[in-house]
Amino acid sequence: MAIPSVIPPRGRALLPAELDALLADTTAIVESSHLFKSLDDAGRRELIATGYVLSYEPGQVLMKQGDLGETMYLVMRGKVAVRTERGPGSSVHLAELGRGACIGEVGALTGGPRTATVTAIDEVQAIAFERHRVERVIDAYPKVRALLEAMIEGRARDTVEKLIGG
């Protein structure tokens, strides 16, 4: 399996034992992910090979509403809070997500601005996938694109309901 050749600025090289554990954990998360279940083994391997792991401390922002979305994440460990701005100084709690949750998928599909701010509740480890690499994989698997689009629509409906009702 190919390993990404570039270590992101906030990352570090993994020790061999960490790499083995990470690959096993990543494979388990991707294989159990509702979104990526429709990938065949080759597609899952390709997706895993394009990702890298980032760690966040409690209170650290993974993504900020309004920023351009170029990365999608799968949460491996920990929990994140998802909030959206309702107006100046007013935000609405949308969700608390944990292991296996997909975040940033709107940006991964559209390249548009983030629709919410996501903050680590506790120590979080997430697999990051850059938009251009996700595009390559989902172009080969139209069912994954359809699931991503359905997920985006469902979250958009949920957000509107919470904004109107909150």
Q: Which two tokens stand for residue 11?
A: 């990352």
Sheet holding 124-130, edge to edge: 52-56, 124-130, 71-77, 102-103
- Residue spans of alpha helices (H) in 82-130: 105-110
What are 18-51's pLDDT values in tens digits? 767 777 777 777 777 766 666 777 777 777 777 8
Residues 6+ apart with CB under 8 A from 49: 1, 2, 3, 4
Give residue 2's pLDDT. Answer: 43
What are 82-132's pLDDT values in tens digits? 998 877 778 889 899 998 888 987 777 777 888 899 999 999 988 888 888
> Domains along the chain?
16-165 (2.60.120.10)
Give residue 147's pLDDT. Answer: 73
Is pLDDT above 90 for 57? yes
Q: Which two tokens stand for residue 69?
A: 């979305």
**Cα separation of the two ends of the chain:** 47
